[in-house]
Amino acid sequence: MYSRRKAYDAELLELDTLLARMGHAAGAAVENAMTALRHHDTELARSVIAQDNEIDSAEHEIEHRCLTLILRQQPVATDLRKVSTALKMVTDIERMADHASDIAEITLHLEPENAAAVGVMDDLDKMGAAALEMTKRAIGAYVQVDLSEAAQVVAADDECDAMFAKIGKEIAQYIAKNPNDAATALDLFMVSKYLERLGDHAVNVAEWVEFLKTGVHKSRKIV
């Protein structure tokens, strides 16, 4: 019985490791996508898009392990909470990587001069840094099961939302004055929207930490 429990604990630890690895990969994708946007680095943007398949594969592997553990071990109480948390959280992490890929896709067809003319690149840099910090801290909070760190991620979302509102207002004003360049401005608005969603997914990940402790989770409906 002891050796069986030991093997089970090892499987749970491996699940944590895979989830953390996937989270760090998603964070790197976000960072690289924003670097590609800032420097119009199309090669880096393409690498972000290509790596999305690897993150998708990691999601499938984690889901398979979770379902296998549930079916084979029939975990209860804390163990079930841990496995179900991983099963839910992996979806948020996968969506983070998807949004990084979305930003990279936009980078491929942006004209640097037109993008600079809109006048929101500095604000997008700041918002990207904020969303990336939330992403990294949310993953760290899960790894450490740190409720304090998780709460700070949730609190930081207000600042991210404020940046999104500011950028949206600036872009609307630009389009009103430059209707012929609306396409570029709308592309940059979509970048800000993807960053806002990244913040929401980071909050959701952070709230799974609370679920690990309390069994209660206030999930957001985000895509």
Q: Which residues of the chain form beta strands (DSSP E)?
A: none
Question: CATH number for the domain including 153?
Answer: 1.20.58.220
Give Cα 145 distance to the centre of its chain. 18
DSSP-derived 3-state class of residue 1? coil
- Is residue 111 assigned to a domain? yes
- Is residue 222 assigned to a domain? no
- Is residue 10 assigned to a domain? yes
- Is residue 220 assigned to a domain? no
pLDDT digits (tens, 9 = 90+) for 112-138: 999 999 999 999 999 999 999 999 999
pLDDT digits (tens, 9 = 90+) for 161-185: 999 999 999 999 999 999 999 999 9
- Is residue 154 assigned to a domain? yes
State the Cα–Cα distance between residues 192 and 72, nearest whole angstrom. Answer: 43
Domain that holds residue 86: 2-214
Q: What's the domain count of the chain?
A: 1
- Is residue 61 assigned to a domain? yes
Is 42's pLDDT higher than 60?
Answer: yes
- Is residue 221 assigned to a domain? no
Is 209's pLDDT higher than 80?
Answer: yes
Is 43's pLDDT higher than 80?
Answer: yes
- Is residue 223 assigned to a domain? no
